[in-house]
Structure 1
């Protein structure tokens, strides 16, 4: 089995490598190719990756290359974890929206749109290269904004499934609070990427007892603290919203908070400098503790599970993925991409049925889906007017004056990445 990781020079990658090494019985990789244009980073990450495999006794071969075509050739699956423009572009995404009184964040709002515009054309080019070399390969997208990127891939006819680590993070945290095995926790997880709610926490599977009321009653303070939201919000909703819902439910307070501290991109950039120094140590043969602060917790477990299922090697019976709606949420277009529990096998992901949603959630999902449709059109076809309409449609922007100002700033800060600008 051959896997390729595009964006393999990311400081995230040792987390993925550690999972591949530990879970080699689930996903028996014979060759792993790390693909990245940044040769200096790739050398450091690749060296550590080989040492991790060696320490854990993994027999697989790790190859590094800057050549996308060579790297993805004959791959059974290709994981995408790239960041166009690096942390410098992310830093811009997180700062210039604040100038207009809007949330500065890399995956939602105006910053999320900027990332989508930079990313979708690059991902589609890589996917076409994959299709030319191996049309049967699966593409697993971890590149944000996952929902929009996955929708672009699926609409272009690629075999693609989107992946996020939010759900598996909740699963692990809830299991610890409830003192049960993680595999026994089934989430009623519904929404769009980075716009989701846990409406049930079931023991043993989709039909199991719902422990969400018990979880909130006994551990509500811990859950709310993890979300960085007041417990009152969680109690009144009676569900667990994703961390990203704080940008919607507490927009103005979050904007003021973000104005008073360095951007997350600046923090991550400093972490990356330290991590790369560590990766260059020839005696380091495991992922360092600092990596846990970088983000992406449990990404490796989720990626192994998904790849194993898509490639016919087992995997969990139910997994939270980003996949095509096809009537699962009847108030959305069939071709929308949703994030829900699904069964996954060699044919792809099939969402489980979802009970009728409260309008409080369905309305916001429908609104953001409309934005995502406009964002994808802007990413595919360009043009100031398309960017403006996408911003006007986003509930974190929504005002004509803001949309005008943000459009100008977005284009000015991203001109080098936008072929049409």
Structure 2
């Protein structure tokens, strides 16, 4: 993963951010301001249907640019077509249903003894069903107005959403901050600059393993595990002996698989993350509205999305002709993992440039990890089938929709039992009926 430096796009760039009223946005703006030599923005448009939030976030965005001496123009609008018109790239960071829907995703699956989480399990499926149709509608409008524009997807579940975009022929790459976050963690522990750390990072979005951590060609993963295993295990909320047994560093999200029942017990006693985020967002929006604030506040680090801006700048710059190199992204498998279909979306190091992202050749994925990847890929395929119901013009009834939802839930390794899948299908439909045209 290179640092965002080197060649810049040959022309000044217009970007649109869909979901620009998000409290994440100042993190993105800060990166655009600091790294303006890498991605020379001439115009940035924030697009969001919430006019109140948009004005607050947009005002702070302008002050951040002004403080850092960025010459680019920042505007905002609730009109999607106006916002994307002439954009070279469109960043997607929307949340259909807001934090209220997320709160539901995190709670009703617990009633069946299953993990409640916004990107995996039954909650993740609910989010996919709400999100995919909206993202595809946005992508179609982008394609009509700007056929050459790139779509950079940061919207969860990134793997499923990116697969939907690519399946429908859109110029899209998925982005997650897990890899860059781990890279920065390892660099700090090793006492080296982040751009010297190369990851052997492979799997699916939120289902990856770091199989090597190389500095100047030397794999320092054994040293990291030996010297910092306890702190890494604590950060991942996984037992240290498990890391030693695996001999790799898994994504934080693997705890939902490796410690499912323990996590369910935790989630039943802890306040839902969605409730914590909703409260944090209100604090942040209050701070953003202060006309004297002209930098991202420290409190934003508790919101999540660390280093998103650096990853987004590096990826967007490369797609538009700037510094390329290797970056961890979500893109088509195309034989990288031979046991998966070519059109599966994997998360892996890839060469990125104006033609898109091409995964680097990878050594075979160990059977212990490959089995889970294959299982979850099957679920993601069925989840996308369910999310696309009703988009082809064929009339879809409630029975067809419920059958598709049940199949996806039955295929998910965190569910898998027919009685759980049966009950969760009804719960999912009941909590998301307004987003399911067939329901």
Instruction: Mark the runs of 5 or more structure 2 residues left unpaired by the alignment.
Output: 1-12, 391-400
Output the CA distance in 1 between the equivalents of 2:159 and 2:306: 19
Q: How does 1:4-403 map to 2 (within 5 A)?
A: 4-204=16-216, 208-315=217-324, 317-381=325-389, 383-403=401-421
- Deviation at residue 22 of structure 1 after TM alignment: 0.2
- State the distance in 1 between where 2:212 and 2:84 align: 39
Task: Please report how far the alpha carbon of residue 356 of structure 1 lies from its aligned counterpart in structure 2 after TM superposition.
Answer: 1.0
- Structure 1 alignment gaps of length 5 or more: none
Deviation at 1:236, TM superposition (A): 0.4
Q: Distance in 1 between matches of 2:246 and 2:201?
A: 15
CA drift of 1:86 comes to 0.2
SS for the counterpart of 1:5 is strand
Whole-angstrom distance in 1 between the partners of 2:78 and 2:365: 46
Coordinate RMSD, CA, aligned: 0.6
CA distance in 1, matches of 2:176, 2:273: 19
1:358, distance to aligned residue in structure 2 (A): 1.1
TM-score, reference length from structure 1: 0.99
| Rounded Cα–Cα distance in structure 2 between residues aligned with 1:356 and 1:50 | 47
Q: Take 2:288 and 2:103, find their aligned partners in 1: how far apart are those partners?
A: 24
Deviations along 1:229-252, one digit per CA (max 9) or x if unpaired, are 110110000000000000000000
Distance across 2 between alignment mates of 1:234 and 1:69 = 48
Structure 1 stretches of 4+ with a deviation exceeding 6 A read: none
CA deviation string 1:18-42 (max 9, x = no partner): 0000000000000000000000000
SS for the counterpart of 1:395 is coil
Deviations 1:304-326 (A, max 9, x none): 000000001114x1100000000
